[in-house]
A and B are shown apart, each in its own frame.
Chain A
Amino acid sequence: MKKYILLFLPLFLLICMVLIWPKTVPLSFARDNRVAVLILGDSLSAGLGVETEQTYPFLLEEMLNQKGFTVNILNGSISGSTTAGASSRLKWFLRAKPDIILLALGANDGLRGLSTDKMTQNLENAIILAKKNGIQVILAGMKLPPNYGPAYANAFETSFVWLTQKHDLPFIPFLLKNVAGKASLNQADGIHPNPDGHKIIAATVFEILSEQL
């Protein structure tokens, strides 16, 4: 009995929170007629080490609007985040009523050597939650540096492919395409893109995102 109470308690609290939230939060995500795109990512999308105006989400919005799209990009990325928090974070952003979500998580799971099965499950939960709320999902794939070993790196990479195929999602095979491993496009830590790197990522994402708009 106790076990059931424990299981239902968080759910009950969540329902209460959702019911109470709109009444107590005047600060809300500005919603207008533009297409709302939520980027749910990690440090690569949060723009660790670069100014907000240099991050690819910011550049992407500029590029899309210049091309005549009316898009509002909401960057909900957190440095260091893993897929474990994907669903709970998405719940917070549901209030922003996003039309499209770019799911760009998983890099930290890989770098920390976490289970790829668990990562896939976390991402899938987020995808299901988004779809239930009528949000179109774009999945950003990721690759691990070769030093993680071929077995793990392959398992990691194919997780994204599997999810894409299962849920029939638009897919960016590798978010850091043409950026990863290049010293001139990365910061001194060798892993986070610099402003030039962010420009290339913006172009990569633009290609897929513009097709969905």
Chain B
Amino acid sequence: MLWIRLGLKELIKNRGFALFFILNLTLGFAGFIAIHSFGRSLNRHLDDNLKNILTADLVVSSNRALEPKDLELINTVLGAKKQQARLISFYTMVRAGQNARLIRVMAIDNFYPLYGKFSLEKSSEIKSIQNTPGVFMTRDTAYVLGLRGKADKNFPITLGSKTFHIADFFVDDPDTSLTAVELAPKIYMGIDQLSDTGLIQFGSRIRYSRYFRFEPDADVPILVNTLRQEYAKAFPGQKRVNIYDSRDVNRRLDRLTRYFTGYMGLVSVVSLFLAGIATAYLFRGYLNLKQQEMAVLMSIGARHHEIWLYLSIQLIILGLIASILSIIISLALVPAFPVIFQGLIPDQVNLRTDPATIILALGLGTIGSMIFCLPVFVRLFAIKPLMLLRGTSDSIKKNTQQSVRQLASIIPGLAAFLLISIFAAGSMKNGIIFVVGFAIALAFLSLIGWLLLSACKRISHTRITVAKIAFRNLFRNKWASLSCFVTIAMGAFLISLIPQIQQGLQNEIVRPEGLKIPAFFLVDIQDEQKTPFIEFMQNQEGELANLSPMIRGRITTKNQQPFRHEVRQSDDRPRRRGGHRLEFNFSYRKDLDVSETIVQGDPLSTTPWNFESKRPFEISVEQSFAERYNIQIGDFLGFEIQGLPFEGQVKNLRKIRWNSFQPNFFLLFQNGVLNDAPKTFLAAISNVPLSKRQDLKNRIVDAFPNVSVIDVTQMAGTLLGITNKLSLSIRFMAWLAIAAGLISIFSIARHEAWKNENQINLLKILGSKFSEIQAITLLEFGFIGFTAALSAILLSYAFSWAVSLYFFDSLWQINLTLSFLILFLTTGVCMFTAFTASRKVMKSKPMRLLENEN
């Protein structure tokens, strides 16, 4: 207790420094909490979005009604703590008056939806369509069925052999299914009303779905996997049901959400390392300042554990206060982000300080202090007090045992870093990769720093006094300067890792320039309808885009070997519903779409392929398709199209931004190959005012009855909403990481400048002018800041490229603007802190500063 009391007294006695120390540490922690909380809030928001799209946590669906043995298996695996809802869906022709149209019946129970909701004009309850033959539909659907003017609820609608009425109109429905192309509008009815329609019989094509919602702490991916495994065990060789969760909501989003999660993990680790660096640096700096005190205590007979207790209690108190302050700041600040950064972060994100992050910050502030300072304690306890009093502990030679002990003392710190990296990255593998990468960067920057500071000796041989003194100072205090250089460089390195990846991801996610979001997709335009259709659209509101020929065929061989064998060897992804993918759609186009880029190889020849040339034609293959089927540039592919054999050679690999919503194809052929083959056309229509959409749709259907008009407005809106959120978040996170990093650098530089006050004071006593002292300090700190940031940025290019190659499919692009910004801000922060420190010294009396030192 004595040592604890002494420790507390010491802090109170030096409260000025203690406050300064706490402030620095608080800034470092606050940045970390803000980044982590923002990241986790966004992940939660995205998760909720996907659940709302799916309307559940987990869905089991089948083409036949689930039998008792299915339900028993499902209940055993999913447990009792769940809510469930039922949906039966199918297409049918609905008759209303003289009109008959294809619609999709959605028969629901009272519990549907488990997430999300209906937006009904009269706010009717779901129960209202269970007990009576009522349906929910949109006004557009009612219009198509012939209902004009005001809502007539008695308007009869015949489904099978039963007549229904309109119970309410919905503006939005919970089913924003993005997985399938919807051929027809939806009509909701009560599941209990279904039996009288006579539509469900032997041979009916019906989809039976059960939706499940679990407690918030349930591990849905594990439940999905377990249920799939149990089904495989119980019904081997049978594909009885489809089981999926929000991860399967949309394959278009799959890659983007994977990138986003990876990016968030990276930013989390970066922010954690930044906080760790600042904490470790400040704690160790504090302990180094206490060397003489430790020597005195050791000389008067204090035991090691007592000194450890005495100093540790000071560190823990300082760390604890800093953590609590940073938590308070974050609690106040994070929820205010939407107001402060309006327009810069996505709307409707419920930002809150994350409890796990708060615990981590408290842990870093308290236990972290002891772990990070262990090597310093071990080093200082291993030497004689006299050496400490002389202040020469750095140059003392160690014996083998001491070296081993010193080395062992680093292990807890490393282990702690590794553990929290795994936590932040969300995977052991990624956590280890980050820590190893961090260690390599640390070693590399230490080497650069050592070489630079060694070079300072040569640079100091100059006639310019200010430069002479500044560079001599840097060289003479080589180890202290190196420590400062490495810490600042690591901070700059971490924050400049982000912009390159952010730029690459941003370009992948945002809509390509010149791309128009379609309102409709048109399918099955016949060859002979192409010209009349173009002419028809010239007189309509809306823009016809991307009229693409589509020819279906099989890939028969790859390099003269049967293609199906290749598929089986390389395709380890789950099989698509409906069996093997053996038929593919081919197309050709004069110019690539804005959503396409050639990533490998040369563009296809524009010269039409000559059938008589006997040379294989050129093929462009989509990148992920090539990966899945192990197709390389130069491979020969054999095709069977409309009964004819063809052979082509892969000329290039193409990347498609599937979230661009344009008709795109895995394989594009050289001009001239398919031009005369029987084909249909796909097209998109954009720029249609919302109020005109239904009219246009009706006009197209009337003029071209075989053409299916698929309304993709809702799907495009939902997906673009999510991608816009991702894009905004990625940019904001980059800025937040840079800001937090600069705050950490500022707190480190402030501490370093404070340590330099004595040196500045000495120059003052020796009669140096204020301008000279200021110039020396600015040069010293400016040099360290600039060289550290420059080396860090250059190194970060290599590291971010490696990270993007491993985690983000090489989505990497140098962001020069942010790199320059980091370089100048890091240098600026270092020089500013040095400038304020020198001003403070100039304003104080030399004796007072010397008194403080003692």
Q: Which A residues lie at the B interface, using CB under 8 A?
A: 6, 9-10, 17, 21, 24-29, 46-52, 74-76, 78-85, 88-89, 91-93, 96, 109, 111-115, 118, 122, 145-152, 180-181, 183, 187-192, 194
Contacts and interface: CB of A to CB of B under 8 A. Distances in A.
Interface residues of B, number: 61
Contact of A78 (B92, B612, B642): B642
Given A17-B676, A29-B643, A114-B706, A79 B93 contact: no
Nearest to A156: B93
A200 to B, nearest CB: 15
Nearest to B204: A147
B528 A10 contact: yes
Interface in B507-532: 524, 526-529, 531-532
Nearest to B100: A152
Nearest to B93: A152
A192 B580 CA distance: 12
B63 A188 contact: yes
Interface stretch (B26-34, B195-203, B712-720): B195-203
A74 to B, nearest CB: 5
Contacts of A145: 203-205
B423 interface: no
Nearest to B645: A27
B583 A111 contact: no
B769 interface: no
B70 to A, nearest CB: 13
B160 interface: yes
B64 A183 contact: yes
A173 to B, nearest CB: 15
A88 to B, nearest CB: 5
B680 A187 contact: no
Contacts of A150: 160-161, 198
A146 B204 CA distance: 5
A24 B183 CA distance: 40
Interface in B227-242: 239
B721 interface: no
A123 to B, nearest CB: 12
Nearest to A75: B643
Given A17-B676, A84-B706, A88-B678, 4 more contacts: A6-B531, A75-B643, A81-B680, A111-B91
Contacts of B532: 6
A129 to B, nearest CB: 13
A162 B38 CA distance: 67
B93 A112 contact: no
Contacts of B612: 24, 26
B578 A192 contact: yes
Contact of B524 (A10, A82, A93): A82
Nearest to A28: B644
B552 A80 contact: yes
14 contacts: A26-B614, A29-B643, A29-B644, A49-B580, A50-B582, A78-B642, A82-B706, A84-B706, A88-B527, A114-B705, A118-B706, A147-B205, A149-B159, A152-B93
Interface in B673-725: 676-678, 680, 705-706, 708
B20 interface: no
Contacts of B676: 17, 21, 92
Contact of A118 (B161, B205, B646, B705): B705
A176 to B, nearest CB: 9
Given A88-B526, A96-B643, A150-B161, A49 B677 contact: no
Nearest to B535: A6
Given A93-B643, A112-B183, A147-B199, A189 B578 contact: yes
Contact of B642 (A76, A80, A191): A76
A48 B556 CA distance: 14
Contacts of B535: 6
Contact of A113 (B64, B184, B239): B184
A162 B646 CA distance: 39
A122 to B, nearest CB: 8
Given A27-B611, A79-B583, A112-B708, A74 B202 contact: no
A25 B611 contact: yes
Contacts of B552: 46, 78-81
B831 to A, nearest CB: 67
B63 A190 contact: yes
A126 to B, nearest CB: 12
B527 A85 contact: yes
Q: What are the 9 tightest A-B residue pairs by CB atom distance, in nearest-first order?
A: A113-B102, A49-B579, A181-B203, A84-B706, A190-B63, A152-B93, A147-B204, A146-B201, A188-B239
Contacts of A88: 526-528, 678
B607 to A, nearest CB: 14
Contacts of B655: none
Nearest to A181: B203
A25 B612 CA distance: 7
Nearest to B183: A112
A189 B239 CA distance: 10
Contact of A46 (B93, B580, B583): B583
Contacts of A111: 91
Nearest to B676: A17
Nearest to A147: B204
B252 interface: no
B526 A85 contact: yes
Interface string B603-629: 000000011101000000000000000
